[in-house]
Amino acid sequence: MKIAIIAHDAKKELMVQFCIAYCGILSKHTLIATNTTGRVVGEATGLSIQRYLSGQGGAEQIIALLSCNQVDVLLFFRDPNNPKPADKHDMNLLRLCDVHNVPVATNIATAEALILALERGDLDWREIGTPSI
């Protein structure tokens, strides 16, 4: 499965800690991330992560993949206390997850539930409905 990892600045360390805790599960999947998040997670975990552009470019690239139904899970740790001008990208990410039935976690509690469901095989239905390009 292809898992996209995105974290606002205030949530990057939490994402790192989450990925350290679930490194064994994450290592079995294809990981993609925005540049900075991918770099810090990769450095801390040793996971292989395809990184996209820094700043708004990376989010837009992941939005493009979501719009083509090429992402199976989105782990998106948002900082609800400090909205950014990029909130339109945030809303597009979430909207496309709804459009394509992509499971999404916006905090550590839902991320843990999703990652454990992924490990159990509860999300295998994504492979049936996702075209390979």
The Cα angle at residue 130 between residues 125 and 119, in degrees rounded to 5: 40
Q: Per-residue pLDDT for 56 more than 70?
A: no
Which DSSP letter does residue 54 get? S
How is residue 83 written in tokens?
């909205």
Global pTM?
A: 0.89
Q: What is the pLDDT of residue 13?
A: 97
Give the model confidence (pLDDT) of 87-123 as tens digits.
777 888 989 999 999 999 999 999 999 999 999 999 9
The Cα angle at residue 87 between residues 82 and 92, in degrees rounded to 5: 145
Give the model confidence (pLDDT) of 70-93 as tens digits.
999 999 999 988 866 657 778 889
d(CA 23, CA 40): 14
Q: For residue 50, how far is the Cα from the chain centroid?
A: 12
Q: What is the pLDDT of residue 133?
A: 46
> What domains can be seen in the chain, in order of their start residue?
2-125 (3.40.50.1380)
